[in-house]
Amino acid sequence: MRAAKQAVPGLRARNRIAVLATTATALLSACAGAPPRDNGSLPPGKSGGYYLDDGPGANPPANLDQIPDAQPKPELIKASTARPYTAFGRTYTPMTRLAPYKERGTASWYGKRYHGQPTASGELYDMYAMTAAHPTLPIPSYARVTNVRSGKSVVVRINDRGPFRGERLIDLSYTAAYKLGIIGSGSDLVEVESILPGAATAPTVDADARPSPPPVATMPSEAPSTPPVIESPAQEPKGVYVQLGAFSQRSKAESFLAQVRTELNWLADTIGLYLRDGVYRVHAGPYLDRTQADQIATRVEQSVDLRPVVITR
């Protein structure tokens, strides 16, 4: 779903809350369909912790300490969450590639009030998972969060936008905040450091000592730089295909094919280039039936700014 102007990127249209710059009561929620997290309404005595009417669930799991940290893995950044957006009169420009990031600031947390609500990634917020919201880090991506005061450290998966108050850097899930020891205080000073694809989950060295990171989703592909073209329709196996693009020039088709093999690395082995009726077509497949092809097409559209077409040969 394309992000509307002046809306938090990544939120589905039926759940978006528009930012109305002309009214003093403008609201914007980092969690679609939920009350705004950053309206400044904090419980008495809190200085950046959970929000008014929020808090822990009635029956939290007994084994919160044993819930494992998020496990970093290469993932495609959702294009809809990488566009600039405005919240509470401030414009944010999300990172479009994974890159070294390290910053200190206040961590707060959000709990039952948003449990089960859609996040900017489209996933439902689970207060007992190891996730977090950040204004600009890629979605999805991974970060190590360290409590500066205690030295406790966790790894979280960034899947939501927020917080939008200037003094706060990151909003943690209930479990992540619990493991960092900030449930009672509501907030604490933390250091947030991005984890790059393939990097160990242990704390990394200073940014100046790290090599330049690769672009997001640039997993090595064994595909040849100049892919072969199946020129005869009879050579194309029968079945259902997902057509990703069609071009009159072979050079443009090959360039596009290389790009989608990089950005859709989970699909790379099934993508081919076919010449039919003078048109170079980039197809993924074949698939057993249209249902399977439709599922692939939907996943492609959710991953990149592309609208594939399902065809049958």
**Which CATH number characterizes residue 117's domain?**
2.40.40.10
Residue 84, helix vs strand vs coil: coil
What is the number of structural domains in the chain? 2
Tell me the CATH number at 302: 3.30.70.1070
C-beta of residue 134 within 8 angstroms of C-beta of residue 75: no
- Name the most confidently modeled range: 6-10, 118-122, 194-198: 118-122
pLDDT digits (tens, 9 = 90+) for 90-108: 889 999 888 899 999 999 9
User: Are 128 and 33 found together in one domain?
Assistant: yes
Cα 182 from chain centroid (whole Å): 25
Residue 41: pLDDT band (50, 70, 90) is very low
Residue 92, helix vs strand vs coil: strand
Window from 31-45, 131-145, 208-222, 229-243 with minimum mean pLDDT: 208-222
Query: Torsions phi, psi of 260, nearest 5?
Result: -70, -30
Residue 30: pLDDT band (50, 70, 90) is very low
Tokens 């990127």 sit on residue: 9
How far apart (Å, rounded) are the C-alpha atoms in residues 180 and 43? 20
Tokens 């495609």 sit on residue: 76
Across residues 59-64, what is the average pLDDT? 80
User: Are 45 and 186 found together in one domain?
Assistant: yes
Is the model's pLDDT at 158 over the cut of 90? yes
Token duo for residue 273:
């280039």
Residue 160: pLDDT band (50, 70, 90) is very high
| 287 CB-near residues (< 8 Å, 6+ apart) | 239, 240, 241, 242, 293, 296
pLDDT digits (tens, 9 = 90+) for 111-138: 888 888 888 888 899 999 999 999 999 9
| 218 CB-near residues (< 8 Å, 6+ apart) | 262
pLDDT digits (tens, 9 = 90+) for 206-234: 333 333 333 333 233 333 334 455 555 55
Domain holding 243, by residue range, is 229-312
User: Are 180 and 281 found together in one domain?
Assistant: no
The length of the chain in residues reads: 313
User: Are 116 and 261 found together in one domain?
Assistant: no
C-beta of residue 138 within 8 angstroms of C-beta of residue 216: yes
Considering all CA atoms of the chain, what is the largest pairwise distance in Å, rounded to the nearest integer?
A: 74
User: Are 213 and 233 found together in one domain?
Assistant: no
User: Are 212 and 242 found together in one domain?
Assistant: no
Query: End-to-end CA distance of the chain, in Å?
Result: 29
User: Are 213 and 137 found together in one domain?
Assistant: yes
283, burial (CB in 10 Å: exposed 0-12, middle 13-18, buried 19+): buried
Q: Over the chain, what is the mean pLDDT?
A: 73
Residue 198: the pLDDT is 57
Is the model's pLDDT at 173 over the cut of 90? yes
Examine residue 286 and say whether the peptide bond preceding it is cis (omega within 30 degrees of 0): yes
Residue 253: pLDDT band (50, 70, 90) is confident
Residue 305: the pLDDT is 79
User: Are 117 and 202 found together in one domain?
Assistant: yes
Give kind and range of the element (H or E) at residue 177. Answer: helix 174-180
User: Are 119 and 240 found together in one domain?
Assistant: no
User: Are 189 and 236 found together in one domain?
Assistant: no
C-beta of residue 234 within 8 angstroms of C-beta of residue 124: no
Tell whether pTM > 0.85: no
User: Are 242 and 200 found together in one domain?
Assistant: no
State which of 217, 242, 277 marks the end of a domain. Answer: 217
Across residues 9-28, what is the average pLDDT? 31
In a domain, 223, yes or no: no
Is the model's pLDDT at 267 over the cut of 50? yes
Across residues 189-209, what is the average pLDDT? 61
| 305 CB-near residues (< 8 Å, 6+ apart) | 79
Q: What percent of the chain has pLDDT above 90?
A: 26
User: Are 5 and 98 found together in one domain?
Assistant: yes
